[in-house]
Amino acid sequence: MKVAVIGAGSWGTAVAWLLGEKAYDVNVWAREPEIAEGINAEGRNPMFLPDVQLGPGVRSTSEIGEAVEGATAVVVVTPSHGVRGVAEAMSEHLPTSVPVINLAKGVEQNTLMRMTQILEEVLGNKARLAALSGPNHAEEVSKGVPSATVVAAYENEVARMFQDLFIAPTFRVYTNPDVVGVELCGASKNVVAVAAGMVDGLGYGDNTKATLMTRGLAEMSRLGTHLGANPMTYMGLAGMGDLIVTCTSRHSRNRGLGEWIAGGGTVESYSAETHMVAEGAKSAVSLDDLAAKLDIEMPITRQVRAILYEGHVPGEAATILMGRAAVDEFHGMGLIED
Residues marked as catalytic: 189
Q: Regarding beta strands 2-6 and 25-29, do their DSSP bridges make them parallel or antiparallel, or are they unpaired?
A: parallel
118 CA to centre of own chain: 15
H and E: helices and strands count for the chain: 15, 8
Closest by CA position to 14, among listed 186, 139, 173 = 139
Sheet of strand 25-29: strand arrangement: 58-61, 25-29, 2-6, 73-76, 100-102, 129-133, 147-153, 171-176
Cα 210 from Cα 237, distance rounded (Å): 18
Cα 62 from Cα 10, distance rounded (Å): 16
How many Cβ atoms from other residues are within 10 Å of residue 127's Cβ?
14
Torsion of CA 15, 57, 75, 32, to 10 degrees: 80
How many Cβ atoms from other residues are within 10 Å of residue 318's Cβ?
18
Cα 143 from Cα 130, distance rounded (Å): 25
